[in-house]
């Protein structure tokens, strides 16, 4: 039997942000024709991106979006306001260009790929979708582990492969999106499994459950955590038992981006659960993650706090698909353009600060 570990890459070192580019960008910011600090977070963003992109003036022309779609066994409980068939139907909608992320990707001129990791329904569109099927769905994690070891390895690898395609395309910013009915339960369970709190503190409406639906979701998650609790002894095992194919793919993509030197803009609640998994698997991944928005899903605040993340926007969005991240890209582009194109005090002949 081979003793080669198919997941060894997860722990390979990630790139280090370039401190000389960060320093050059900070110096440049201090010379631009504005009171220092007056562009607030836009200044910090430009400086951070400079370090990640290894250049004094970062740019965000080439944005890459990978949306990972998959079904969840936990949907049988039921824990979502929508039927499981929606996952495959939305894959068709992505392929036809009618989903929110399709519109936003066109607005940004971003590359958009849809990766189908396995759905119970059969998407009819084959064009414009990468079908990397692992299984029709994960297993119901209220009864057993969501994934086998092999399925988890394949899902993580699918994410890494997306990061590689983004890298080969010359991408300057990576956005991961998710689509999977039931995945807010999986994301909540992961947050609980990583020690962030109890289901009653973290579970929310997802696609739109009412109070009774949320109470039922909490009881399902409590049952699942009682089952798996004694076995959650490593970050990987938490992900295997409670995660989903698309969530694991997002985690693999984030780690891959950090290893390949691509900045990541994280979307909402589900993406942040994947980001937490990625950071538990390979903590230095955190350096490469920017956080776009605070989702309306109540547990997101707790996830963001655990990741020490300050998101840019709070628009009450809770869609997934990478949509919140896509909406934040114009802000990041403004940060880069201001940083690169504003005149310095010396160039403009404007007097600097006197005290
Ligand atoms: O990412 C978020 O902030 C978010 C919050 C709530 C729901 N979603 C999306 O809604 C689906 C999961 O919701 P649910 O109720 O089916 O678990 C899934 O397709 C997600 O992309 C996404
Ligand atoms: C229609 C629909 C679109 C979505 N996009 C991401 N999650 C979703 C969930 C539903 C129900």
Distance CA 149, CA 156 (A): 11
Q: Is the pLDDT of residue 140 over 70?
A: yes
pLDDT higher than threshold 60 for residue 200 = yes
248 CB contacts (<8 Å, ≥6 apart)? 147, 152, 155, 156, 159, 239, 274, 277
Tokens of 239: 């992900």
Contact 78 CB / ligand 1 (< 6 Å): no
Ligand 1 atom nearest the C-alpha of 205 is 15
* Chain segment 253-278, per-residue pLDDT in tens: 999 999 999 999 999 999 999 999 99
Segment among 118-127, 212-221, 225-234 with least mean pLDDT: 118-127
**Model ipTM?**
1.00
Confirm whether 321 is a catalytic residue. yes
Q: Which domains does the chain have, with CATH numbers?
A: 63-331 (3.40.50.10210)
- Which residue, 277, 288, 223, 211, is CA-closest to 250? 277
Cβ(151) – ligand 1 distance below 6 Å: no
Give the model confidence (pLDDT) of 282-310 as tens digits: 999 999 999 999 999 999 999 999 999 99
Predicted local confidence at residue 3, as pLDDT: 55
Q: Which of 336, 323, 327, 340 is nearest to 60 (CA)?
A: 336
Residue closest to 112 by CA, chosen among 171, 53, 183:
171
Distance 131 CA to ligand 2 centre (A): 19
- In this structure, what DSSP letter does residue 173 have? E
The reported pTM is 0.98
> What pLDDT, on the 0 to 100 scale, is given for residue 1?
44
CA 227 to chain centre: 27
Distance CA 218, CA 197 (A): 12
Q: Is 186 in the pocket of ligand 1 (CB under 6 A)?
A: no
Q: Which is it for the CA torsion 207, 209, 215, 216, positive or negative? A: negative
Cα distances (Å, whole numbers) of residue 341 to 108, 144, 277: 20, 56, 38
Looking at all shown ligands, the one closest to residue 182's CA atom is 1
């Amino acid at each position: 039997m081979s003793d080669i570990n198919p997941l060894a890459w997860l722990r390979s070192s990630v790139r280090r942000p370039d401190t000389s580019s960060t320093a050059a960008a900070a110096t440049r910011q201090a010379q631009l024709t504005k009171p220092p600090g007056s562009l607030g977070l836009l200044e910090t963003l430009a400086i951070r991106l400079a370090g990640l992109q290894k250049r004094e003036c970062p740019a965000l022309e080439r944005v890459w979006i990978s949306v990972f779609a998959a079904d969840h066994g936990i949907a049988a409980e039921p824990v979502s306001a929508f039927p499981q068939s929606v996952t495959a139907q939305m894959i068709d909608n992505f392929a036809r260009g009618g989903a929110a992320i399709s519109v936003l990707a066109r607005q940004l001129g971003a590359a958009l790929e849809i990766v189908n990791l396995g759905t119970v329904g059969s998407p009819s569109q084959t064009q414009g979708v990468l079908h990397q099927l692992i299984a029709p769905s994960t297993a119901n994690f209220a009864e057993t582990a969501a994934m086998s070891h092999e399925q988890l390895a394949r899902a993580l690898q699918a994410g890494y492969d997306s990061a590689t395609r983004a890298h080969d395309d010359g991408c300057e910013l990576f956005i991961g999106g998710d689509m999977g009915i039931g995945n807010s339960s999986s994301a909540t369970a992961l947050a609980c499994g990583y020690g962030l709190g109890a289901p009653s503190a973290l579970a929310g409406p997802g696609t739109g459950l009412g109070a009774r639906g949320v109470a039922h979701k909490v009881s399902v998650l409590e049952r699942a955590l009682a089952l798996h609790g004694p076995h959650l002894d490593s970050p990987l095992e938490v992900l295997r038992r409670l995660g989903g194919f698309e969530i694991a793919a997002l985690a693999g993509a984030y780690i891959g981006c950090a290893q390949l030197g691509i900045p990541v803009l994280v979307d909402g609640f589900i993406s942040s659960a994947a980001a937490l998994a990625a950071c538990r698997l390979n903590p230095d991944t955190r350096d490469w993650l920017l956080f776009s928005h605070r989702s309306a899903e109540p547990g997101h605040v707790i996830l963001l706090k655990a990741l020490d993340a300050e998101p840019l926007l709070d628009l009450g969005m809770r869609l997934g698909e990478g949509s919140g991240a896509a909406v934040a890209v114009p802000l990041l582009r403004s940060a880069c353009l201001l940083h690169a194109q504003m005149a310095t005090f010396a160039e403009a002949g404007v007097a600097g600060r006197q005290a």
